[in-house]
Amino acid sequence: MRFSQSTDYALRVLMYLGLNDGRLATISEIAATYDISRNHLMKVIHRLGRAGFVHTQRGKGGGIRLARSATEIYVGDVVRRMEENWDLVECFRTDGGKCCIRPVCTLRDVLRHGLNTLLRALDEFTIEDLLRHRQSELIELLSPDADEDRAARSKQPGSGAQ
């Protein structure tokens, strides 16, 4: 199983906003920080807003922030809202697929159990949990001038850069 790019981006956006402590961030800022498509990110943020995870403010001085505390946003909820296709195998489809062993197959039940177990495990973690132990490193990596800082450090004598 692999989560969609939208789910990946959604979790990264929420982490970014969680680090910004209520400050309004812009789509352009987040897209540049993660080096991802601004257009795709706009769609992701729209879905996050509809799901109640982020608040968007339009106009000059506008931006995005978490709609509630990072301690109240569970990873499992985000994944459930962002993923559009849970068809791990053909028989998960609403039409049941064309598998000839479907009437007697237990694989579907085992996979469904595994998926439910994964989602329950993700329900144990909040966005705050993703930030807590590495917060200072994440802030450094995601700061607007992180790329410039890394480039400058790599040019210093003894840095190993050639």
Q: What are phi and psi of 54, to 5 degrees?
A: -130, 155
- Which residue did the predictor score with more confidence, 3 or 100? 3
- Is residue 111 in a domain? no
- Is residue 94 in a domain? no
Q: What are phi and psi of 55, to 5 degrees?
A: -110, 130
Structure tokens at 54: 């982020």
Quick one: pLDDT at residue 141? 79
Number of domains, the chain = 1
- Is residue 79 in a domain? yes
pLDDT band at 133 (very low <50, low <70, confident <90, very high): confident
- Is residue 136 in a domain? yes
Quick one: pLDDT at residue 71? 96
- Is residue 36 in a domain? yes
pTM: 0.81
Please report the sign of the dihedral spanned by the C-alpha atoms of residue 70, residue 77, residue 35, residue 158.
positive
**CATH code assigned at 9:** 1.10.10.10
pLDDT digits over 146-157, tens only?
Answer: 555 544 444 555
Q: How far apart are CA 33 and CA 143, in angstroms?
A: 8
